[in-house]
């Protein structure tokens, strides 16, 4: 009984983490924040491009993920 409850709780935690990670609005906010960092001189162009690529990949994954679960 306790093992199945723990399994259920873990599945819920993973599901919520995936919803947050793959939330397109969240990724877009992170992209906007990244652009602000670049314009404020907090990061250089190379770092911006590296992190932007990762976020754009994540946005594509988010699109695929949201279509998978529907």
Provide the b/e sequence for 6-22 (b: ≥16 CB within 10 Å). eeeeeeeeeeeeeeeeb
Give domain status of residue 11, yes or no.
no
What integer is the mean pLDDT of 54-66? 89
- Three-state DSSP at 63 gives helix
pTM over 0.85? The answer is no
Residue 6 lies in a domain: no
Q: Structural domain tally of the chain?
A: 1
Tokens of 54: 């990762």
The answer to whether residue 14 sits within a structural domain is no
Structural domain boundaries enclosing 63? 20-68
9-54 tens-digit pLDDT: 899 999 899 888 889 999 999 999 999 999 999 999 999 999 999 9
Confidence at 70, pLDDT banded by 50, 70, 90 = low
Of 22, 13, 14, residue with least CA distance to 67? 22
């Amino acid at each position: 009984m306790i093992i199945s409850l723990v399994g259920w709780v873990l599945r819920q935690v993973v599901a919520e983490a995936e919803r947050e990670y793959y939330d397109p609005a969240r990724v877009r906010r992170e992209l906007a924040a990244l652009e602000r960092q670049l314009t404020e001189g907090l990061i250089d162009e190379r770092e911006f491009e590296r992190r932007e690529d990762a976020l754009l990949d994540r946005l594509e994954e988010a699109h695929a993920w949201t279509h998978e679960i529907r």
